[in-house]
Amino acid sequence: YKDPHFRGDRNTIVHLFEWKWDDIASECENFLQHKGYAGVQVSPPNENLIIEGRPWWERYQPVSYLLITRSGNESSFKNMAKRCNAVGVRIYVDAVINHMSAENGIGTAGSVANATYKYFPGVPYGPNDFNEPCEITNYDDNVNARNCELVGLKDLDQGKQYVRDKIVEFMNHLIDLGVAGFRMDAARHIWPPNLKEIYSRLKNLNTQYGFPESARPFIYQEVSNMDRDYANLGTLVEFKYGRSLSNVFRGNDKLKWLVNWGPGWGLLDGLDAVAFIDNHDTQREQNGQSLTYKSAKQYKMAIAFMLAHPYGTTRIMSSYAFTDSNKGPPADNKGNIISPGFNSDDTCTNGWICEHRWREIYDMVEFRNVVAGTSIENWWSNDDQQIAFCRGNKGFIVFTNWGDVERDLQTCLPPGIYCDVISGKLVGGNCTGKSVTVKRDGKAFIKLGALEFNGMLAIHAKSKA
């Protein structure tokens, strides 16, 4: 359950938050495959409660397991999985199985949600399929956190065979349709032995979509405190990763201390972790600790560091613009989601931010592919806010968060002229941005000013002029 089944040396899952399935299919074909992205995390695909004003969080209020939402229906989902897999991009589903909706109403497929009496005929679930009502008041108390209602959401009893059967049926249906794995929403609120049984009954990934025989789905669980009981079952999203790294790139800590980034900073083992800077929740936190697209320079540095560093399975957030934290995706007055449009420089229009289309970010996804399998060598720091390191003899990166870098540094690369992939790129043998001349001893004179547009410089084996 810990292998994401990426194709080749590709890396990184991009969370295309609230995107429509048809748009994701096109994005796999037109953009993601060419930039080396390995997978897409999609918003919950099953029917959710329609909530007044259409906040994004209505998708975390399930009404049934029918695959009909504002993102599309089952046939568009199937088409997306087929087209993305065909170009080597995997699909990971956000699986909301801890609970059903908190309120009464109608779902996106027209099913009734009777939360008061706990009838969800679209599944169907009835009152006996839920835990006794109580409110979660102590996240550190396993019984309270797992058997009570998370913000009032009706809490399913995964201890019941019937409930597990319905969940397994739902997830296996998605495996049939070609998905590679699941983000387990609210996993911390589900008993590990019940999750274990659910995972064990999942089918192997569908070989028709290019997965190897006996491939188990990739599982990454939303657990905010590190808990071995969950890490034994699959991987975990590592919340500390983005918070600590954001703190560093905000200037509250020194870059030099990143020398032992990883378990040395209290993080999980990299093989157990999905690493990310921000997600759809943390980017909405009041006085949040995580950098987001709103602090672009610092944010791009944190992401560049994440992608340059070998730790973890990496995930990039791809957002739409918001100030009101409840605001749903760009939509017309009937509530239909408006597709992103694209500018000539690859960035998005129509209210979509599309961090994954920012040049510095996708160029670092390529960097990570090029250096796959190598380790960090020749770590350098000025003992303060400037660092540099090599990835084997394939890549080299420099950061400054304070003061100008103007000195010779060891790049570990074979001699030659390389294009910096942050300030520009290699086009027809020439660099559109800075170039770096690596001398015979592997050293190069590096110039990177603290006030430049970007706070990093990166070269690699495939950016040689």
Q: Is 324 a catalytic residue?
A: no
For ligand LAG, the closer of residues 134 and 151 by Cβ is: 151
H-assigned helices in 201-295: 228-231, 239-247
For ligand LAG, the closer of residues 61 and 314 by Cβ is: 61
Q: Which of 129, 155, 222, 238 is catalytic?
A: 222
CA separation for the pair 13, 183 (Å, rounded)? 11
CA separation for the pair 398, 455 (Å, rounded)? 8
Under the binding rule (CB under 6 A), the answer on residue 185 touching ligand LAG is yes
Q: Count Cβ atoms below 10 Å from residue 375 Cβ, excluding itself.
A: 10
Phi first, then psi, for residue 377 (nearest 5°) are -135, 160
Residues that bind Ca ion (CB under 5 A): 98, 146, 155, 189
Amino acid at 170: F
Residues between 220 and 239 with contacts to ligand LAG, criterion CB under 6 A: 222
DSSP 401-439: SSS-EEEEEE--SPSEEEE-TTT--EETTEESS-EEEE-
For Ca ion, the closer of residues 70 and 146 by Cβ is: 146
Under the binding rule (CB under 6 A), the answer on residue 281 touching ligand LAG is yes
Q: Which residues pair with 220 in a beta bridge?
A: 183, 235
| Binding piece for ligand LAG, criterion CB under 6 A, among 83-91, 148-156, 157-165, 374-382 | 148-156
Q: How far is the CB of 222 from ligand LAG (least distance, A)?
A: 4
Q: How far is the CB of 388 from ligand LAG (least distance, A)?
A: 36
Q: How far is the CB of 265 from ligand LAG (least distance, A)?
A: 23
What is the DSSP pairing of strand 235-237 with strand 218-221? Answer: parallel
For Ca ion, the closer of residues 98 and 454 by Cβ is: 98
CA separation for the pair 10, 422 (Å, rounded)? 19
CA separation for the pair 93, 108 (Å, rounded)? 18
* Tokens found for residue 177: 């349709």
The upper half-sphere exposure of residue 142, i.e. CA atoms within 13 Å in the direction of its Cβ, equals 7
Under the binding rule (CB under 6 A), the answer on residue 317 touching ligand LAG is no
CA separation for the pair 437, 95 (Å, rounded)? 49
From residue 324 to residue 363, the character string flagging contacts with ligand LAG as x (rule: CB under 6 A) and all else as - is ----------------------------------------
Under the binding rule (CB under 6 A), the answer on residue 136 touching ligand LAG is no
Q: How far is the CB of 277 from ligand LAG (least distance, A)?
A: 16
Q: Is 378 left (phi over 0), alpha (psi -120 to 50) or beta?
A: left
| Position among 95, 175, 186, 277 found at the interface with ligand LAG (CB under 6 A) | 186
Query: What are the CA-CA distances from residue 378 to residues 13, 207, 305, 391, 437 (Å)?
Result: 28, 42, 16, 9, 18
Q: How far is the CB of 196 from ligand LAG (least distance, A)?
A: 18
| Binding piece for ligand LAG, criterion CB under 6 A, among 19-27, 96-104, 126-134, 327-335 | 96-104
For Ca ion, the closer of residues 98 and 386 by Cβ is: 98
For ligand LAG, the closer of residues 25 and 198 by Cβ is: 198
Q: How far is the CB of 2 from Ca ion (least distance, A)?
A: 24
Under the binding rule (CB under 6 A), the answer on residue 102 touching ligand LAG is yes
- The residue whose Cβ lies closest to Ca ion is 189
* Tokens found for residue 408: 């010779």
For Ca ion, the closer of residues 146 and 315 by Cβ is: 146
CB 190 within 8 A of CB 131: no
Under the binding rule (CB under 6 A), the answer on residue 96 touching ligand LAG is yes
Under the binding rule (CB under 6 A), the answer on residue 195 touching ligand LAG is no
* Tokens found for residue 378: 């020749």
CA separation for the pair 253, 385 (Å, rounded)? 9
Residues between 54 and 93 with contacts to ligand LAG, criterion CB under 6 A: 57-58, 60-61
Residue 155 binds which of Ca ion, ligand LAG, none (CB < 5-8 A, kind-dependent): Ca ion
Under the binding rule (CB under 6 A), the answer on residue 176 touching ligand LAG is no
| Position among 153, 174, 275, 370 found at the interface with ligand LAG (CB under 6 A) | 153
Q: Which of 185, 272, 355, 420 is catalytic?
A: 185
Residue 22 binds which of ligand LAG, Ca ion, none (CB < 5-8 A, kind-dependent): none
Helices 296-308 and 239-247, axial angle in degrees (round to 10): 120
- Kindly state the helix (H) or strand (E) to which residue 387 belongs, with its residue range: strand 386-391
Task: Say how many residues make up the chain.
Answer: 465
Phi first, then psi, for residue 416 (nearest 5°) are 150, 180
| Binding piece for ligand LAG, criterion CB under 6 A, among 7-15, 145-153, 349-357, 389-397 | 145-153
> By three-state DSSP, how is residue 247 classified?
helix
Q: Is 213 a catalytic residue?
A: no
Active site residues: 185, 222
What residue ranges bind ligand LAG (CB under 6 A)? 57-58, 60-61, 96, 102-103, 150-153, 185-186, 222, 281
